Structure 1
Amino acid sequence: MSEIATLAGGCFWCLDATFARLRGVSQVDCGYMGGRIEAPTYKAVCTGDTGHAEVIQLTFDPAIISYSTILKLFFALHNPTTLNRQGEDVGTQYRSSLFFHNEAQETAAKAMIKALADQYADPIVTTVTPAVTFWPAETYHQDYFDQNPEQPYCSAVVAGKVRKLMQEYGDLLK
């Protein structure tokens, strides 16, 4: 039986490119969650005024990849200590957040944050909040890295995260 996880950790292109490569993950969709307006657009979300985070929503088989492993990778592939920022991407839309779909996910997320707290010099600022309506991003954002590997942001930022995944977590790849 499949489950859903929703993660916000900066630009959704980075998370999409990494999590889509994992065994047990059958689908990854880029989108928006946690804001104040319905049917947000990328342009609106980029203003920082809608309250949405750029997220990925992934469908996974917990018999192949656990939610705990997903959390471990989430924290390894972004900086959970920078408020509303990942690298040069700044704004509330780039916040670190875990949107839980059930009580078990909430408990696991909070436990992971507590377990990892001592590994960082600064406090973890990742929020843990209930999942609300997922608004899919525009079609051109889906699988963006794979379709645009030479785009400057992709080659400078996303490619490094994909390399890290492949080097450090190769045993989890499809």
Structure 2
Amino acid sequence: MVNVSQGWIKPDGNFSGFSEAVIVEFDPDAISLENLIAIHLYTHSSTSEHAMRSKYRSAVYTFNDYQVIPAKQAIEILQKEFEDPIITKVIPFKTFKLNDQQYLDYYYKNPEMPFCKTFIDPKLKILLKQFSSQVDEEKLRSAEYKRM
């Protein structure tokens, strides 16, 4: 990854309001868009409709027209790996608001908090099990993910 920014995205088009999201700037020579989408689909509820979907939209945001078709194709190809239909949409990006400082790098600062134990640790276990070749070993050590 080149950079990850956590905050709130408002998409372009017929979508209302902001939804919590991350912007991932990446080097396509180091990790493909398709692998990033696979990681995204496996580490959040990509097949689950729930009451909080307006705040936690299941989406891949695109920043140019060249990303739309590969993103949709990646989701379509990955569908065969999921029992239930993937609800994740490919949506054009419009604007972004960075989260408050207190919430940035929350897991690194608070790994023992109940939110981290309940929601983040299970996602990290999936990441380490299914995508270990994509994990940054330095970050792995610094966050002590191996304690899981």
Q: TM-score range by the shorter chain?
A: 0.7 to 0.9
35, 39, 51: which one aligns with 1:73: 39
Distance 2:84 2:132 in 1: 28
Q: Aligned pair count?
A: 133
Distance 1:80 1:137 in 2: 22
94, 97, 101: which one aligns with 1:135: 97
Identity across matched positions, percent: 28
Distance 2:132 2:84 in 1: 28
Unaligned runs of 5+ in 1: 1-24, 37-49
Q: Does the 8 A contact of 2:11 with 2:93 survive in 1?
A: no
1:168 Cα offset (Å)? 2.2
Q: Which runs of 4+ in 1 moved over 6 A?
A: none
The C-alpha deviation readout for 1:103-151, integer Å capped at 9, x for no partner, is: 2211111112221233333322111111111111111111111101111
Determine the structure 2 residue equivalent to 1:34.
Answer: 10
* 1:1-174 pair list within 5 angstroms: 25-34=1-10, 51-84=17-50, 90-174=52-136
Q: Does the 8 A contact of 1:83 with 1:95 survive in 2?
A: no
SS of equivalent to 2:6: strand
- 1:109 partner amino acid: A
- For normalisation by structure 2, the TM-score amounts to 0.80
Distance 1:82 1:147 in 2: 29
- For normalisation by structure 1, the TM-score amounts to 0.69
1:53/1:84 CA distance change after superposition, 3 Å: farther
Structure ranking higher on relative contact order (CA contacts 8 Å, 6+ apart)? 1
Distance 1:161 1:115 in 2: 21
1:168/1:124 CA distance change after superposition, 3 Å: closer
Unaligned runs of 5+ in 2: 137-148
